[in-house]
Amino acid sequence: VRDFVERHVLSNGMVADWVYHDNPGNPHIHLMTTLRPLTEAGFGAKKVPVIGEDGQPLRTKAGKIVYELWAGSADDFNALRDGWFERQNHHLAINGVELRIDGRSYEKRGIELEPTIHLGVGTKAIERKAESRGVRAELERLDLNEARRAENARRMLRRPQIVLDLITREKSVFDERDIAKVLHRYVDDHYVFQQLLARVMQSSELLRLQRDTIDLTTGERVRSRYTTRELIRLEAEMARQATWLSERKANGVSKSVLEAVFSRHTRLSPEQKAAIEHVAGSARIAAVVGRAGAGKTTMMKAAREAWELAGYRVVGAALAGKAAEGLEKEAGIRSRTLASWELRWKQQRDMLDA
């Protein structure tokens, strides 16, 4: 949260006030930000004029100045939301937690389920009161939510693979408890729950990687671990392609070009220079791993200059839109999300050449 607030709130000149609630089963953050700019005379106006390319305020045809909210629009909020997912996934990765947060809708992820509705504390309290009085609650949100949950349970019964689709969007290796947690979101009936759990566990797509064992160092039981055939195929193909690329050479940058770039970037550390020499070498695949603040973006800016000086066109890709935006803004590399590149290539646009 500190990282997110610093990158996406404080960097925009806002003041942030946040608190972490470690509620059992529902840890969450409350975050408030200022909606007005802080000036020498106190807080300024909520609305600020939109500045055009000529440095002057934009005006409508009628001559009126165009204003926008200083705190941002709906698009800014979506960018903030994407930034939160990106920071979560970053910190999960560097702390060795094998879990991935995906903020996209079920439809965009290709999951055949209806989105359920978040019911707040107030709605739940109304439901409990109605039940205690023996009166049916006339709450459309509750009725709609229950209808969607029931429909999702029916879809899972028809095609248990949906449950595995849901889990594998978050983690590649899982146990029976992970499956049960997903089912619990949609199924209240004990009989239906057990029936669905049995059908998922018997799915031909499910693969057991490890049986129940005892950890000899702690004496604790280690549950059986599973994955899916689709993920095994995907990872095997990735490994095959990486091996194929590692055995081939191309696109190397000469030593004279690197020296010219290093002479312009005098603040590069020896470690950053070594990383640039590694990625700008002749191997067709190269990886650099670095923690937050290690200087990867600065390194990539210099590497981009080296490639362009050698005559290459440089493009960038990232899983999250915010990360792609940062790569383009800070390193000067034209970047998109991987999904966006894939879609454009399917449409025969922005194809890669030699």
Question: Which of the residue ranges 70-84, 117-131, 251-265 would you say has the lowest mean pLDDT?
Answer: 117-131
Report which residue type is found at 330.
E
Higher-confidence position of 21 and 74: 21
Higher-confidence position of 112 and 21: 21
Average pLDDT (143-150) is 78
pLDDT score of 263 more than 90: yes
- State the pLDDT at residue 118: 63
- State the pLDDT at residue 262: 94
Higher-confidence position of 117 and 284: 284
The SS3 assignment for 354 reads: coil
Report which residue type is found at 298.
T
pLDDT score of 128 more than 70: no
Burial 137-168 (b: 16+ CB within 10 A, else e): beeeebeebeebbbebbebbeeebbbbbbbbb
Higher-confidence position of 136 and 336: 336
- The H or E element that residue 209 is part of is strand 206-210
- State the pLDDT at residue 77: 83
What pTM did the predictor assign? 0.57
pLDDT score of 321 more than 50: yes
Q: Structural domain boundaries of the chain?
A: 2-94, 106-229, 248-346
- State the pLDDT at residue 103: 81
- State the pLDDT at residue 8: 86
CB atoms within 10 A of CB 181: 11
**pLDDT class for 127, splitting at 50, 70, 90?**
low
pLDDT score of 138 more than 50: no
Let me know if 199 is exposed, middle or buried by CB neighbors in 10 A (0-12, 13-18, 19+).
Answer: middle
Strands 315-318, 334-337: pairing kind: parallel
Q: To the nearest whole number, what is the mean pLDDT of the chain? A: 85
Which of 286, 299, 344, 329 shows the shortest CA–CA distance to 83?
329
Which of 303, 329, 307, 305 shows the shortest CA–CA distance to 318?
329
- State the pLDDT at residue 218: 80
- State the pLDDT at residue 123: 53
- State the pLDDT at residue 250: 81
Average pLDDT (187-192) is 84
- State the pLDDT at residue 171: 86
CB atoms within 10 A of CB 302: 21
pLDDT for 147-186, tens place per residue? 888 888 888 888 888 889 888 888 889 999 999 988 888 8
- Does the domain made of 248-346 have the CATH classification 3.10.105.10? no
pLDDT for 273-286, tens place per residue? 999 999 999 889 99
